[in-house]
Amino acid sequence: MALAEVTRSWERFRDLKTRVPGDNGIERFLRDTCESFATAARMLLAVGTKDFYFQSAELYGRPQSLSADRKTTNLDLARHFARVVDGQVGDARLPSPMDDEVLSAEDVAPELQRRFAESFPDRVIRVEIVDDIASKVTARIDLVQVKRGARFSRRDLLQLEHHEGHVHLATALNGRAQPLMPFVGYPSPRTTGTQEGLAVLTEFLTQSTGVERLRRLADRAIAIKMAEDGANFVDLFRFLRAGGYDEANAFDSARRVCRGGLVEGGAPFTKDVCYLDGLLRVTNFLRVALVNRHVDYVRLFFAGKIDTTDVPLFGRLRQEGLVIEPRYVPAWARDLSYLTAFMSYAAFLGEIDLSEDRRRYDDMIAHAEGDMS
């Protein structure tokens, strides 16, 4: 997109924002959406400068942005995942044939095409192999692109089916089907965290994630913090190589952090912190909603590409007949009995102080291991 077009987009969204000055829910929703697009345009206008990073942080947050509980940060969660993975795996990998990268892009593309045809029988979802994307796979409205030369495991394939298909494609199709607001079928910068968090939660609930996936999410957030502190592209590449990534994956992950910003450090693209932040926000919202018997909110997450904070508004709009039920909803979001039970248990666990149990069980394990030595 040419700079002149980006400038016009920024001016257009800035103007649209002034046309919705009211304070009701719909006007706030429209105004916030316009503002996020205007910020994204400012970010694009600042590519290759420090200001790109500031606009990115405004849209997606930073590693040290406070997370959902207003106490911990995205970096805290990333480091927690990193400690857990390192403690479990160390320099090796947890053995699982699901994680062996035995599939090529040429294997994955037709299989994804087949699975999407089953999930969306009345839609044509194209899957094509391309060269010029930063990640292994990207999803658009009715198109999924797979990076040529990438290698995949069977768990990767399952993750792509659920993450890209049952969340990103489903929310796009459901949103475009909304009679009054079809624009919610298109990505908005302010909804990225919720969309990615919903997709990562779906990975957990469908057993399509694993420690390698957690490692990638954690290391990307840690790499962004390193870049904020001055690490350049080569530093990030070396950090990722030391963490066990092969050259291709280390290069791609370092590129994700530096794209649009400064390769010499100090101004990263912060989008990848929103995966963990969105996961916490979506999970916590569902925990509260289900415990408080708002089970109807679960399906509304799939009514379009909306933010967690939009769900209650969409609930009211549905009651007024202005929003229709989403057609494509993953199995886990339809099984409200299981989901309520799971989230109720998760909510209880979140209130438990583990410090005493941790000491006691650590001592028991250490004693048992000592007896065997």
Domain coverage including residue 16: 1-45
Question: Closest by alpha carbon to 142, among 180, 119, 34?
Answer: 119
| DSSP letter for each residue of 312-335 | HHHHHHHHTTSSPPPS---HHHH-
- Tell me whether residue 244 is in a domain: yes
- Tell me whether residue 79 is in a domain: yes
Rounded-to-integer distance, Cα 300 and Cα 30, Å: 18
Residues 38 and 117 in one domain: no
- Tell me whether residue 162 is in a domain: yes
Residues 22 and 123 in one domain: no
Residues 22 and 81 in one domain: no
Residues 3 and 87 in one domain: no
- Tell me whether residue 54 is in a domain: yes
Residues 99 and 1 in one domain: no
Residues 159 and 172 in one domain: yes
Q: What is the pLDDT along the chain (373 residues), one digit of tens a residue?
A: 678 898 999 999 999 999 999 889 999 999 999 999 999 999 999 999 999 999 999 999 999 998 767 788 889 989 988 888 776 655 445 667 888 889 999 999 999 999 999 999 999 999 999 998 878 888 887 889 999 999 999 999 999 999 999 999 999 999 999 999 999 999 999 999 999 999 999 999 999 998 888 889 999 999 999 999 999 999 999 999 998 888 988 999 999 999 999 999 999 999 999 999 999 999 999 998 998 889 999 999 999 999 999 999 999 999 999 999 999 999 999 999 999 998 888 878 777 777 787 788 888 888 787 766 5
- With contact defined as beta carbons under 8 Å apart, do 66 and 73 qualify? yes
- Total domains present in the chain: 2
- Tell me whether residue 302 is in a domain: yes
Q: What is the pLDDT of residue 101?
A: 85
Structure tokens at 302: 């799939």
Residues 41 and 96 in one domain: no
| DSSP letter for each residue of 91-154 | TS----GGGS--EEHHHHHHHHHHHHHHHSTTS--EEEEES--SSSEEE-SSEEEEETT-EE-H
Q: What is the pLDDT of residue 369?
A: 73
- Tell me whether residue 93 is in a domain: yes
- With contact defined as beta carbons under 8 Å apart, do 116 and 72 qualify? no
Residues 6 and 128 in one domain: no
Residues 139 and 278 in one domain: yes
- With contact defined as beta carbons under 8 Å apart, do 101 and 260 qualify? no
Structure tokens at 277: 């932040």
- Tell me whether residue 346 is in a domain: no
Residues 39 and 51 in one domain: no
Structure tokens at 50: 């420090």
Q: What is the pLDDT of residue 13?
A: 94
Q: What is the pLDDT of residue 93?
A: 57
Residues 172 and 300 in one domain: yes
Residues 265 and 209 in one domain: yes
Rounded-to-integer distance, Cα 315 and Cα 296, Å: 8
- Tell me whether residue 279 is in a domain: yes
